[in-house]
Chain A
Amino acid sequence: MHRTQTRRRFLSLAGGAAVAGALPVVSVRPLQATPAMLNSAIRNVVGEAPVRTGKVTLDIPPLVENGNTVPMTVRVASPMTATDFVKSIHVFNEKNPQPNIGNFYIGASAGRAQVSTRIRLADSQKVVAIAQLSDGSFWSASAEVIVTLAACTEEVN
């Protein structure tokens, strides 16, 4: 128990993946996604299309105590008619081990462009939601979240 605590404290003090790499834990994958990974994950979805800010509302608490379950709602302002609707919503993060959180495919039959789920956040970071509309345009919203207890990478007891 004592060992776990000191290690956890060391991790929190050390921060950065570079320092974490020096720990005696063998890890083949990086402990943290980087803003560059976030950008490439977004590019994988949107391609070369421009992403504009607006239309999307990302509801997430600004301060969460436990990163293991963070409620999140994404809403897109859209009439949701047969010719003007939201095709999909994609959610990304900046500092979890992986930049993707979820892809949600809706469509004209949804009536309302809104999805809610619960997510994990491994660190205080930015969360980005991107919506693809039926005309092919992409819109986004982002939110900064402060997390006091991180998820994803802790030790199993």
Chain B
Amino acid sequence: MPAALVNVPPKARRGDVIEIKTLMSHIMETGYRHTAAGDVVPRDIITSFTCRYNGTEIFRADFFPAIAANPFMSFFTVAKDSGKFEFEWIGDNGFSETASAAITVE
């Protein structure tokens, strides 16, 4: 069962630069590992992460197998209006997860 952790300050003043931190549980199997029998373990990674702030995309990332398991991401944005951050992770084998967080801007 995938689980997302997102950390957005619940309150900010207009114009503040705020940090957003996210963590998504995922194995991030590289596709380069072998079993003891010599079989390749198929790749299973998150390939894309997007963050939208009141509908506008403010951050996007392409992930490769070199991103560690349970991808952690920290980035910044300017607090403009109260509203919602929406997060989306998309990956191999139809992986798709979302999360959201609210912010009050004064």
Q: A residues near B, CB below 8 A?
A: 3-4, 24-27, 29, 31, 68-70, 73, 93, 96-98, 100-107, 109-121, 151-157
CB atoms of A155 and B72 under 8 A apart: no
Query: What residues of B have a CB within 8 angstroms of the CB of A120 in the complex?
Result: 30, 65-68
Q: How far is the CA of A24 from the CA of B80 in the complex (A)?
A: 58
Query: What residues of B have a CB within 8 angstroms of the CB of A93 in the complex?
Result: 66
Please name the 8 residue pairs, one residue from A and one from B, whose CB atoms are nearest each other, closest first: A111-B17, A116-B74, A118-B68, A111-B78, A112-B76, A69-B68, A103-B62, A101-B66
For the complex formed, measure the closest distance between the CB of B6 and the CB atoms of chain A, giving whole angstroms.
15
Size bracket, chain B contacts: 20 to 34
Classify the interface of chain B: helix, strand, loop or mixed: strand
CB atoms of B66 and A110 under 8 A apart: no
Q: How far is the CA of A103 from the CA of B50 in the complex (A)?
A: 12
- Cross-chain pair count, CB within 8 angstroms: 125
CB atoms of B68 and A70 under 8 A apart: yes
Considering the complex, give the chain B residue whose CB is closest to the CB of A115: B75
- Among B2-49, those with CB < 8 Å from A are 17-18, 30, 32-36, 38, 40-41
Considering the complex, give the chain A residue whose CB is closest to the CB of B48: A103
Query: What residues of A have a CB within 8 angstroms of the CB of B76 in the complex?
Result: 106, 110-114
Query: Of A102, A107, A118, A151, which one neighbours B62 at CB under 8 angstroms?
Result: A102
CB atoms of B36 and A4 under 8 A apart: yes
CB atoms of A111 and B66 under 8 A apart: no
CB atoms of A111 and B65 under 8 A apart: no
Query: What residues of B have a CB within 8 angstroms of the CB of A115 in the complex?
Result: 61, 73-75
CB atoms of B59 and A104 under 8 A apart: yes
8 cross-chain CB contacts under 8 A: A93-B66, A115-B74, A116-B74, A119-B66, A120-B68, A152-B30, A153-B34, A156-B35
Q: How far is the CA of A104 from the CA of B49 in the complex (A)?
A: 9
Query: Of B33, B36, B66, which one neighbours A98 at CB under 8 angstroms?
Result: B66
Considering the complex, give the chain A residue whose CB is closest to the CB of B29: A156
Considering the complex, give the chain A residue whose CB is closest to the CB of B60: A105
Knowing A109-B58, A117-B71, say if A100 contacts B64 (CB, 8 Å). yes
CB atoms of A107 and B75 under 8 A apart: no
For the complex formed, measure the closest distance between the CB of A102 and the CB atoms of chain B, giving whole angstroms.
6
Identify which of B61, B64, B67, B69 gathers the most chain A CB atoms within 10 Å of its CB.
Answer: B64
